[in-house]
Amino acid sequence: MAAVLIAVQVPAQARSGMENYHQLGEERSYLWIPMLHYSSAKGYYAELRYNYEDAGTFSIFAGKSFKLNRNKVSGTLTPMLGYSAGNFQGLSIGLNTEISSGRFYFSSQMQYSHALVSDQEGFYFNWSEAGYDLSERIYAGLAFQYTLQAAVGDFEPGIVVGLNAGDFSFPVYLFRPFGKGQTVMAGLNYEFRLSGKKKNKSLSL
């Protein structure tokens, strides 16, 4: 059998970033969702969240990023473990996924959170999107959020349009655009790189 070479590339530089999402909907009050993340030069990953798992909840996640490159497709997989405290108290396992090929991209954040308090319910959550870079600065695509809690699923399809300006990005999401319960989520995100050395490893299968 021919060998297949998969390059697993640890990030060339340490990266850090801030994400600020503002959520407002017909059936939801305004919610500010800030997030901070850091990736070391060796791929170790940490993330802080507020109001993400639930309003008034602070969460911390840690994991390891793996970059896979094959043909014209590149991607990053980041499995994580997390802990939440506040209105929701629980432990989480999660996976962040980013895949791109040419101008097409796919990203996903999914997790299962187990409640540590008897009167709270654990849940599964997935926020995914697939889009296309219309130009160097403008992108658009489809998105969805899905929550499964207490055996009840809530699927929210949506669209996204965004603008890239250097290290800044400005995504705007509209969930349930053609039905009741519309939700708008607007982001102001910033990412910067720290100095570091590039390292590569290769796995032959």
Domains of the chain (ranges plus CATH)? 19-195 (2.40.160.40)
pLDDT band at 204 (very low <50, low <70, confident <90, very high): very low
**Does the pLDDT at position 205 exceed 50?**
no
End-to-end CA distance of the chain: 9
Residue pLDDT, tens place only, 193-202: 765 444 443 3
Between 4 and 151, whose confidence is greater?
A: 151
Tell me what the pLDDT averaged over the chain comes to.
88
pLDDT of residue 195: 59
Distance, CA of 49 to CA of 30 (rounded, Å): 17
**Does the pLDDT at position 8 exceed 60?**
no
pLDDT of residue 179: 84
Distance, CA of 189 to CA of 164 (rounded, Å): 10
pTM of the model as a whole: 0.84
pLDDT band at 14 (very low <50, low <70, confident <90, very high): confident
pLDDT of residue 26: 80
Residue pLDDT, tens place only, 76-94: 999 999 999 999 999 999 9
pLDDT of residue 12: 52
pLDDT band at 28 (very low <50, low <70, confident <90, very high): confident
Region 17-33 average pLDDT: 90
Which amino acid is it at 18? M
